[in-house]
Amino acid sequence: MEAAILATSQNYPIVPLGGGQAYTYGTAGFRMKAELLAPICFRVGLLAFLRSAFMNSQTIGVMVTASHNPAPDNGVKIVDPMGEMLEQDWEKYATALVNAATDQELVKIFNRIASELKINLKLPTKVICGRDTRPSGPKLVAALTDALAATNTEFINYGWLTTPQLHYLVRATNTEGNPLSYGKVSEDGYYEKLADAFIRAMNGRKINGTLTVDCANGIGAPKLIKFLKSLPQDKVNFIVKVVNDNVVKPDVLNLNCGADFVKTKQRAPLSPEPVPSGRSCSFDGDADRLIYYWTDAEKRFSMLDGDRISSLAALFLGNLVEGAGLKDELRIGVVQTAYANGASTAYISQHLKLPVICTPTGVKHLHHVAQNFDIGIYFEANGHGTVLFSPDALSALKTTAPQSPAQKDCLDILLALSDLINQTVGDAISDMLLVEVILAHKGWTLSDWAMTYMDLPNRLVRIEVGDKDLFKTTDAERRLSRPQGAQDEIDNEVKKFKNARSFARASGTENACRVYAEAATWSEANELAERVARIIERYGNQ
């Protein structure tokens, strides 16, 4: 094996970043310009082999995607056996392998990891892979394949997949044949599971009107179309218009459309022209983010982001749990990041009376905390999130004997939702279906949904800096611990505005910082954001 790795590695020389910088495995794995990624994908393949062997031959996933980034970018990340993100303790091993300067050093680090973790390199190993629609994908998968061939790893390339579909397939593969089977091990199995759960969760309700889905010209378009073909329309009246579905022309991926565009620009995609008062939503390039929105007759734009989806799910699930007679038995909680609008936090904690916990940005942090609840709801404001049902919660739903038809309905719908919601990771298709189920049950329009609370005006600003690593945070990324003095200046600015808060944090994928600001009015939120941005710019470019 060592000789095979050494020989194959010579085809994938690592490109040094220069300036003393190193490649780092973050929330999105490794993500950058695609021309740098082939040697990184090769080395991630070696790590996937080690991870599979370490996990006693369980199947590991590798996803090649750059999500909402422009088409010239790409990325690679590992999926753990139950569909989770790579265990955080292993990120340092990914970073060490990728930054090995020579082929000989790479083999040395590979052997050191195996020795340190007492990994049996003779165990059978298995890896499955998927990729989004970027033209760089096949070349990167080829590099991954070479690493897996060098380590004699069984490998299945599923080709085009949404990121959530790969997470589903990893978990389904590792639970196949046992009582906790997650679903059939196939892409069709994913569609069948969602379709069946959607019909059960609707419980006879019908959906009014057409939903327009902007797929960011990414992988979500063909996969959503396949799902809709698997859905029996005689059982549920779900009319969907798929737009921005051009996966043939690479340059239009995420261009002026998609969930990230809608969230950051706070406007509808540039094309097609939205239907006034119509119901619309947007996916991102790999279909793991979801944002809802509409425009009124005067073309005024209104957005329902991840905070809104989180609060809607909390409202509905809380009512169902109470109706099922399990309010005292099942603990429901909501996990947010510092980017969550303060009004959503107040609504959930004060009106719905549910606990809210703030974590650092990145779904791996939210997912981990959500697992501490019987029903854990987490969404980032960008629309990435899901709902987790604990084994105890599922057991309670299955074993509770209903005392009335209404209680039985609540139990049945909760069980259906546990199948409908992709519990491995945020899934735009799955989350969209969850939203449609809730709106149908409540008989709400998007305007009705928006009236549950009023968002505090807010602004998000991106600032390019000389070195983002100068900025360190504490208190779930809500305060800067470094550079010294920067947080004091931010605090002084916040005091000048009513109902205000602001924080700054380094980007996980770019050499930049992001500033978030809230205040009582839009003009004050804009002014606060600009003032804090100037502080960050000054400290970041000294």
Give pLDDT, residue 237.
86
pLDDT at 509 > cutoff 70: no
Judge whether 514 is annotated as a binding position.
Answer: yes
Judge whether 509 is annotated as a binding position.
Answer: yes
Judge whether 338 is annotated as a binding position.
Answer: no
What is this structure's pTM? 0.94
- Cis status, amide bond into 70, omega within 30 of 0: no
CATH superfamily, region 306-427+441-450: Alpha-D-Glucose-1,6-Bisphosphate, subunit A, domain 3 (3.40.120.10)
Q: What is the CATH number of domain 188-303?
A: 3.40.120.10
Distances (CA, A) of 81 to 86, 115, 177, 241: 9, 22, 15, 35
Judge whether 133 is annotated as a binding position.
Answer: no
Cβ atoms 458, 521 nearer than 8 A: no
Identify the three-state secondary structure at position 247. coil
Q: Please give the full DSSP string across 451-479, using - where no structure is assigned.
A: TT--PPPEEEEEEE-S-GGG-EEETTTTE
The whole-angstrom separation of Cα 314 and Cα 332 is: 8
Give how far the C-alpha of residue 99 lies from the chain's centroid of Cα atoms, to the nearest Å. Answer: 26
CATH superfamily, region 458-540: Alpha-D-phosphohexomutase, C-terminal domain (3.30.310.50)
The whole-angstrom separation of Cα 211 and Cα 432 is: 10
Judge whether 67 is annotated as a binding position.
Answer: yes
447-498 pLDDT per residue, tens: 999 999 999 999 889 999 988 889 999 999 999 999 999 999 999 999 999 9
23-81 pLDDT per residue, tens: 999 888 999 999 999 999 999 999 999 999 999 999 999 999 999 999 999 999 999 99
Q: If you average pLDDT over residues 121-131, what whole number do you get?
A: 97
Judge whether 380 is annotated as a binding position.
Answer: yes
Give pLDDT, residue 18.
75
Give pLDDT, residue 26.
85
Judge whether 507 is annotated as a binding position.
Answer: yes
Distances (CA, A) of 398 to 155, 271, 411, 416, 496: 36, 46, 8, 11, 54
Judge whether 73 is annotated as a binding position.
Answer: no
- Look over the chain and give the mean of its residue pLDDT values, rounded to a whole number: 95
Q: If you average pLDDT over residues 431-446, what whole number do you get?
A: 97
Judge whether 505 is annotated as a binding position.
Answer: yes
The whole-angstrom separation of Cα 190 and Cα 188 is: 5
Q: If you average pLDDT over residues 514-536, what whole number do you get?
A: 95
386-430 pLDDT per residue, tens: 999 999 999 999 999 999 999 999 999 999 999 999 999 999 999
The reply to whether 2-160 and 458-540 are identical in fold is no
Cβ atoms 48, 127 nearer than 8 A: yes
Q: If you average pLDDT over residues 292-314, what whole number do you get?
A: 95
208-241 pLDDT per residue, tens: 899 999 999 999 999 999 999 999 888 888 999 9
Q: Residue 302 — pLDDT band, cuts 50, 70, 90?
A: very high
Tokens of 78: 């590992």
> What is the fold of 2-160?
Alpha-D-Glucose-1,6-Bisphosphate; Chain A, domain 3 (3.40.120)
Q: If you average pLDDT over residues 248-271, what whole number do you get?
A: 94
Catalytic residue list: 67
User: Taking the chain, what is the end-to-end CA distance rounded to the nearest angstrom?
Assistant: 49
Cβ atoms 144, 76 nearer than 8 A: yes
| Amino acid at site 95 | T
pLDDT at 510 > cutoff 90: no
Q: What percent of the chain has pLDDT over 70?
A: 100
Place of tokens 């709902």: 387
Phi-psi region of 421 (alpha: psi -120 to 50; beta: other; left: phi over 0): beta
Q: If you average pLDDT over residues 345-357, what whole number do you get?
A: 97
| DSSP for residue 384 | -
Q: Residue 432 — pLDDT band, cuts 50, 70, 90?
A: very high
The whole-angstrom separation of Cα 168 and Cα 157 is: 15
Give pLDDT, residue 25.
93
Q: Residue 12 — pLDDT band, cuts 50, 70, 90?
A: very high
Judge whether 103 is annotated as a binding position.
Answer: no
Taking the domains of the chain in order of start, what are their residue ranges?
Answer: 2-160, 188-303, 306-427+441-450, 458-540
Judge whether 307 is annotated as a binding position.
Answer: no
Judge whether 208 is annotated as a binding position.
Answer: no
